[in-house]
Amino acid sequence: MTPASDFSALEELPALDALSQLFVQDGYQVALTGGATRDYFLGRTSPDFDLISDAPPDESERLLASWAGSAIRGPSPFGRVSCVRSHLKVEVLTYRSPKDLYPPYDASLLFDDPLHDQLAAADLTIHAGALMLPEHRWIDPFDAVRDLRRGILATPIAPSAAILGHPSSLLRYVRFAAELGFTIEPDLFDAMTELAAILRDNWTWRCVQTLSKILALPNAATAAAIMRETTVMEYLPKKWRNKLATVG
């Protein structure tokens, strides 16, 4: 694995630095996080790059448009804004916290730092590290690198709160366990089993996207087996259960 302090081999870093300068010049923080940092440590190529910032959505849209020529703002209340420049796909998400996703979350567990609260809202610890731009300072409050080295899927906050805040994460955990060959941490596995039924009333387009990616995996049968073990399979629409039955 690549050392946590060294992102020099990331081919897209100069372009991301240039974009980050626009945010910093206007007084905003910006950091690279999520799948791009995960893939870099694992020696994989990332298809897109997720940035997080304290810039309001309108400002992120303005800054991305000035850099790429145009930007698209999604329906997310946290301002998920995306753009493409020279085949580099970038998405910026405004800081949020676990309490934004799951209102019953205990406010006393929040940090004084909005960046740390944002990382706590990540679906998995392996996605909860951040490379501050443009200074290239690595922030890792939830041991993303440790869990990447161990091959473990765990959540930054209590698994039940993570799932209740983002029910579609149930399928993302399955996907990454199969795709990366990682082991789901026991407490998370138990929470998935206990809360699997919430998928029935929280079916979204993200669920469809994730299942489509699962079916495209060479080892989709592994994902299907995890869904059966956690009972997630029982709460999928019949069409998807039938499709997964063909892979094992």
Query: CA–CA separation, 230 vs 195, rounded Å?
Result: 9
- Can you read off the two tokens belonging to residue 204? 């979204």
Q: Is 207 helix (H, G, I), strand (E, B) or coil?
A: helix
Q: State phi, psi for 5 to the nearest 5 degrees.
A: -90, -5
Q: Which regions of the chain are under pLDDT 70?
A: 1-5, 248
**Domain 1-150 belongs to what topology?**
Beta Polymerase; domain 2 (3.30.460)
Domain residue ranges of the chain, discontinuous segments joined by +: 1-150, 158-248
Do residues 35 and 51 make contact, with C-beta atoms less than 8 angstroms apart? Answer: no
- Nearest 5 degrees, angle CA 78-CA 52-CA 35? 110
Say which amino acid occupies 125: T
Do residues 69 and 38 make contact, with C-beta atoms less than 8 angstroms apart? Answer: no
Residue 32's Cβ-count burial label (10 Å; 0-12, 13-18, 19+) is: buried
Q: Write down the architecture of domain 158-248 according to CATH.
A: Orthogonal Bundle (1.10)
Closest residue by Cα to residue 247 from 227, 228, 219, 226: 219
Alpha-carbon dihedral sign for residues 135, 15, 46, 28: positive
Do residues 18 and 30 make contact, with C-beta atoms less than 8 angstroms apart? Answer: no
Return the DSSP state at 151.
T
pLDDT on residue 179: 97
Return the DSSP state at 182.
P
- Can you read off the two tokens belonging to residue 39? 């893939």
pLDDT on residue 24: 98
CA distances (Å), 247 to each of 9, 208, 244, in order?
37, 17, 5
Residue 75's Cβ-count burial label (10 Å; 0-12, 13-18, 19+) is: exposed
Query: CA–CA separation, 195 vs 163, rounded Å?
Result: 8
Longest dimension (CA), the chain: 53
Query: CA–CA separation, 53 vs 64, rounded Å?
Result: 12
Residue 174's Cβ-count burial label (10 Å; 0-12, 13-18, 19+) is: buried
Query: CA–CA separation, 172 vs 166, rounded Å?
Result: 10
pLDDT on residue 1: 62
Do residues 2 and 40 make contact, with C-beta atoms less than 8 angstroms apart? Answer: yes
pLDDT on residue 79: 79
